[in-house]
Chain A
Amino acid sequence: DQQVKQNSPSLSVQEGRISILNCDYTNSMFDYFLWYKKYPAEGPTFLISISSIKDKNEDGRFTVFLNKSAKHLSLHIVPSQPGDSAVYFCAASGYGGATNKLIFGTGTLLAVQP
């Protein structure tokens, strides 16, 4: 039972254009959402997060949108750069009490073409 879903295994965009990565979740107890970026042979690194009390959070070129009624969040990267090419994982927290446990999606491989 996949509680956090990333239905697009891969995405290809042109440099300078917008990248939109999507994530859906099923558990309404989740109250905090994160995006991690992962390069090959490295550990995931934190990118941006959003609390369930907000619907948007922006950090430079990265914006995360949360639609609680649809149980959907998205990551927008504008403008996309070749260095953004990586696997992006969506993660959710809030279901395990004070344990900070995360449930991860399966990831989306983003390829930004020069």
Chain B
Amino acid sequence: NAGVTQTPKFRVLKTGQSMTLLCAQDMNHEYMYWYRQDPGMGLRLIHYSVGEGTTAKGEVPDGYNVSRLKKQNFLLGLESAAPSQTSVYFCASVTGELSSTDTQYFGPGTRLTVL
């Protein structure tokens, strides 16, 4: 049971390049989330999914797209990277309603630098 994994761990892009971040979970969780963490800003929700085939916008969705074609995978895409997207990206998942025994589990993060 690997939990939540993220690929890649690090990436450097040039402005205008595109890339896809992959999040995979093996816990059969329904809900998945993409966050970004910036200094002094905490974690901010980019997009989320409440089940296979569904996606929705979070707090800071501009410049990103997502897809959830398979229940276990949640992809985050940057079509034309900008320096403002330099950040650490975290994926999380949860099976159902939040409780003391069921909460959002986070991946280890992807550190992205856009030059």
- A residues bordering B, Cβ < 8 Å? 4, 6, 9, 32, 34, 36, 41-46, 48-49, 57, 89, 93, 98-107
Contacts and interface: CB of A to CB of B under 8 A. Distances in A.
Residues of B in contact with A, size category: 20 to 34
B108 A42 contact: yes
- Determine chain B's interface SS by DSSP, over half rule: strand
A109 to B, nearest CB: 11
B15 interface: no
Q: Which of A4, A43, A98 has the most CB of B within 10 A?
A: A43
Interface of B: 4, 31, 33, 35, 40-45, 48, 50, 56, 58, 90, 92, 94, 96-100, 103-109
A49 B44 CA distance: 19
B42 A102 contact: no
A34 B43 contact: no
B71 to A, nearest CB: 16
Contact of A99 (B4, B42, B50, B103): B50
A102 B31 CA distance: 12
Contacts of A42: 108-109
A98 B96 CA distance: 9
A24 to B, nearest CB: 13
